[in-house]
Amino acid sequence: MITKYKARARKQSGASARHGGEFAGPFRRSGSEASKLHEPQVVKTATAVHSGSKLKIMVLGGLEEVGRNMTVFEYDKEIIIVDMGLQFPEEDMPGIDYIIPNVSYLEDKTNQIKGVIITHGHYDHIGGIPHLMGKLGNPPIFMGKLTAGIVRKRVEEFNKCPKLNVQEINENSKLQLGKNFRVETLRVNHSIPDCFAVIIHTPVGTVIHSGDFKIDYSPVNDKPADLNRIAQIGGQGVLLLMSDSTDATHPGYQISESSIGDEMGKIFEKLEGRIIIGTFASQLSRVQKLFDLGEKFGRRINLQGRSMNDNVEIAHQIGYLKFNPRILVEDHELNRLPDNKVIIIGTGAQGESNAFLRRVVNGEHRSVNLKAGDTVIFSSSVIPGNERTIQTLRDVIVRQGAKVINYQMMDVHAGGHAKQEDLKLMMRLIKPEYFMPIEANHYMLQAHAELAEQVGIPRDKIFVADNGQIVEFQKTGGQVIGKLTKEKVITDYVMVDGLGVGDISNIVLRDRRVMAEDGMIVIIATIDSKTGDIIGNPDIISRGFVYMKENKELIQKTRMKVKKIVKDHNPHTQADDDYIKNKIRNDIGQFLFSQTKRRPMVLPVVIKV
């Protein structure tokens, strides 16, 4: 599948072949044309344009949230996909593990899907793969070496996932996917190695999908992005840039990962006790610096969390993490080492309930307990919505005699996403005709759109879309015209809860929220099947609503209300179970609200004897 263009490509100039090479010639502009960034222009293509054919782009996830990233490109009954991620649940989604994209638009087009390209190995870009590849006909899937290792490890847990046709790519890969899509990859920097921007050559022009990126001139265990090549691609003519907006609201430049290691080193020099570090399992560049510092300061390293151990093992096997395995120490050996010879690295810097750090703080970990003299470093920024959870976690840590260091106190975290000045630099290098911010909440997309205007992209050529909203490009009268249509494909949440995928509806979620907020009350009424009269007093069970022993008067009034509801039915007809249940549910719900201003879930049970 990984091919190079042949006869025509070999006729390109040497410079063209070096920088994006075989595809470059047909998209080149002269110097005077390149300087006229926003003048209408004909974007020449190497493939014949079918009359009436349109390039359709639709984002199935990632335009209204951070996560669930998945983008579909469609031209003349051929489709390629970039990324297939998950989104972690919001606070109002009790019990939900995560959310994946809705692919119903693609399910009757599986024979048209020519390939899936994965930009990097974070779960918001790969997490949907085990659930969706079977539904999509299991097309070939292309990704970097490290990403492939992480994906293969993840799909082992999913029996229903078909055997994937994974093909590894690098920054020199060139893919011919169907007749209409020719794809190059461009290495970019992020917080994990093997990250790529995707350059898609289509019959109507070149589209660049940035993936997650930042501009790091001294990355850890990675090569910096080739800015010369980026500029050269821009000079050849780019129809559309789709760019990461996660940090579009943050001014300035993103700091380098290597500078975090320097800052950490200054901290380590002053610490005598154990050092416990919470970070993301995918922050492998950070983990590398911690291994380096462990060796420098003579500390052994203990890894905590399955995802942390899996990622370190995969990255070490393929040479992306470099360390002497003897530096690692197992749990049972920790107590034999002096405190000043230990670094513990684990997950849970976001306060996740089952992660390593939370279990340590709660005293539930089998081998690590907090004690005076420990220093806990939160080496990650706070994901919006987790502020209170993390603050509570820090409070408990300090109460147990340990110290806390976080990114707000000193530079112990570098983000993986470009900030405003980096984003503007990327736009100036690529010089796109059209621009589309992606991968963020809507206000971040809008902030990125404003940056695009600042660098000179006309407002009518900036598309701030919603999930599922179709963007079209069509060659008309010698020019390629793009528009943000009003047409949308389905992008509803598909929620994963345990082994269930998509079986949790909004109604179920609503019920969970009601029970979480106001509790529930169960009313059991026993009725004579012949007369319809109630037998005895109704039984009432309250869970999360009121404590029954302290609210005897309310419970008694509720019983009397239920007896009256049952008694008031037509004595000449048999008692209708559904009618009585609905009557109890509605009337008791209104009564309890009038008494308490709460709306518990009312569950009526009618037993006929």
Token representation of residue 241: 């840039």
Looking at 11-87, list the stretches that DSSP marks H as alpha helix, in order from N- to C-terminal side.
14-18, 31-35
Instruction: Choose among 169, 244, 234: nearest CA to 205.
Output: 234
Task: Out of 222, 244, 374, 497, pick the active-site residue.
Answer: 244
Bridge partners of 483, per DSSP, are: 472
Are 203 and 45 spatial neighbours (Cβ–Cβ below 8 Å)? yes
Say if strands 98-100 and 113-117 run parallel, antiparallel, or are unpaired.
Answer: unpaired
What values do phi and psi take at 406, rounded to 5? Answer: -135, 175
Q: Which residues contact 228 (CB under 8 A, 6 or more apart)?
A: 19
Residues across the chain: 609
Catalytic site residue 503?
Answer: no
Write the burial class of residue 381 (CB in 10 Å: 0-12 exposed, 13-18 middle, 19+ buried).
middle
Half-sphere exposure of 217 (CA within 13 A, CB side): 4
Q: Does the active-site annotation cover 533?
A: no
Q: What is the DSSP letter of 570?
A: -
How do strand 520-527 and strand 539-543 relate by DSSP bridges? antiparallel
Residue appearing with tokens 């070096």: 18
Q: Is the dihedral of CA 12, 16, 18, 23 positive or negative?
A: negative
Q: Is 112 exposed, middle or buried (0-12, 13-18, 19+ CB in 10 A)?
A: middle
| Alpha carbon distance 542, 522 (integer Å) | 6
Amino acid letter, residue 374: D
Q: In angstroms, what CA-CA distances link 481 with 239, 267, 433?
A: 10, 55, 10
Catalytic residue among 201, 250, 417, 448: 417
The sheet with strand 166-168 has its strands ordered as 166-168, 141-143, 113-117, 78-82, 70-75, 55-61, 469-476, 479-488
Which backbone phi and psi does 170 adopt, to 5 degrees? -140, -170
Q: Which residue has the tokens 């790529």?
A: 196
Ramachandran region, residue 358 (left: φ > 0; alpha: ψ -120 to 50; beta: rest): alpha
d(CA 475, CA 202): 12
CB 206 within 8 A of CB 182: no
DSSP-derived 3-state class of residue 132: helix
Whole-number Cα distances in Å, 554 to 46, 201, 522, 547, 603: 78, 70, 14, 10, 17
Active site residues: 244, 417
